Amino acid sequence: MSTRSASAGDAIEPIAAGSDGGAAALQQLAGRHATGYRSVGVMVYDILRDAILGGALVPGQKLRQETLAELIGVSRLPVRSALIQLEADGLVEFHDRRGAVVKSLSPAQAKEVYDIRTLLEIEALRLSMSEMTPERVERLRELGQIADEQQEGADFVDARTAFYAELYDAERHPVLWEMIEQLRLKVGRYVLGWRLVGGAEHGHSHEKLIEAVAAGEVEPAVTVLREHLERVRDAVLELLDAEATAAEAGAVSARRSGRR
């Protein structure tokens, strides 16, 4: 039940989050998700996804199917299903016969993600504003309010998602919305980290955006959105650099203290 046998495999672990590799956090996540799921596979998917996004499983960490299965309390099979889905989402990576690891994002890739998001989200905003209604503006205000109140990981993500789904009119543009969601997922883990550091004055741009949208002023709204994305992008890139240096330092200290 515990992770005693896991110590053998920890040697390769490049970035050590904790000594347990996030096992405790993973079990807590499993507990939160335990209630009333239709299929175990998607439950495991949600758990692992939240674990990666929440930082319990860090980039580069190897994911042993049996360990994960035991921690969550299911068989290895739904774990495999979940890992396959996560691979398609770009969150984990399979090495041929050596299992799966949490995929890490290079700074260049992160920049790409935000540049594409800028392109797509501005397009989505333009399309959405061309068919804006007072009802949607009202709903947008509510959702923005809710989003700003949430502080915690999973709820925060959900609230923000709901807000942007309404802003971009996800109903009417499902493919575009799906693309945007995919990109947001790829950087989700880093955005959460950023939120914890310096996302306080964040709500202000939300408000400016909503007001521009409500007034029907397309170009100002686009500008606010673009600047917001650029600000987040720069923050994420900064955080990535910090992590890279930290990983370097961690590798050095691990080499010193670790097995020869």
Partner DNA sequence: ATCTCGGATACTGGATCCAAAATGCAACCG
Partner DNA sequence: CGGTTGCATTTTGGATCCAGTATCCGAGAT
Distance from chain centroid for Cα 4: 30
Is residue 174 within the footprint of a copy of itself (CB under 8 A)? yes
Give the binding range for a copy of itself (CB under 8 A) out of 17-25, 154-162, 176-184, 230-238.
176-184
Is residue 12 within the footprint of DNA (CB under 7 A)? yes
- Residue 10 or 89: which CB sits closer to a copy of itself? 89
Give the binding range for DNA (CB under 7 A) out of 77-85, 133-141, 148-156, 242-250.
77-85
Is residue 96 within the footprint of DNA (CB under 7 A)? yes
What is the pattern of x (binds DNA, CB under 7 A) and - over residues 14-53?
Answer: -------------------------xxx------------
What span, in angstroms and rounded, lies between the C-alpha atoms of 63 and 11?
14
Window 96 to 135, contacts with a copy of itself (CB under 8 A): 96, 109, 112-113, 116, 119-120, 123
Is residue 228 within the footprint of DNA (CB under 7 A)? no
Q: Write out the chain in H/E/C secondary structure.
A: CCCHHHHHHHHCCCCCCCCCCCHHHHHHHHHHCCCCCCCHHHHHHHHHHHHHHHCCCCCCCEECHHHHHHHHCCCHHHHHHHHHHHHHHCCEEEECCCEEEECCCCHHHHHHHHHHHHHHHHHHHHHHHCCCCHHHHHHHHHHHHHHHHCCCHHHHHHHHHHHHHHHCCCCCCHHHHHHHHHHHHHHHHHHHHHHHHHCCCHHHHHHHHHHHHHHCCHHHHHHHHHHHHHHHHHHHHHHHHHHHHHHHHHHHHHHHHCCC
Among 27, 81, 118, 223, binds DNA (CB under 7 A): 81
Among 1, 8, 175, 200, binds DNA (CB under 7 A): 8
Among 52, 74, 209, 210, binds DNA (CB under 7 A): 74
Closest by CA to 160, choosing from 53, 28, 31, is 53
Task: Provide, rounded to whole angstroms, the least separation between the CB of residue 1 and DNA.
Answer: 14
Is residue 69 within the footprint of a copy of itself (CB under 8 A)? no
Q: Where on the chain is the footprint of a copy of itself (CB under 8 A)? A: 38-39, 80-81, 84-85, 88-90, 96, 109, 112-113, 116, 119-120, 123, 173-176, 178-179, 182-183, 186
Q: Where on the chain is the footprint of DNA (CB under 7 A)? A: 5, 8-9, 11-12, 39-41, 63-66, 74-78, 80-81, 94, 96-99
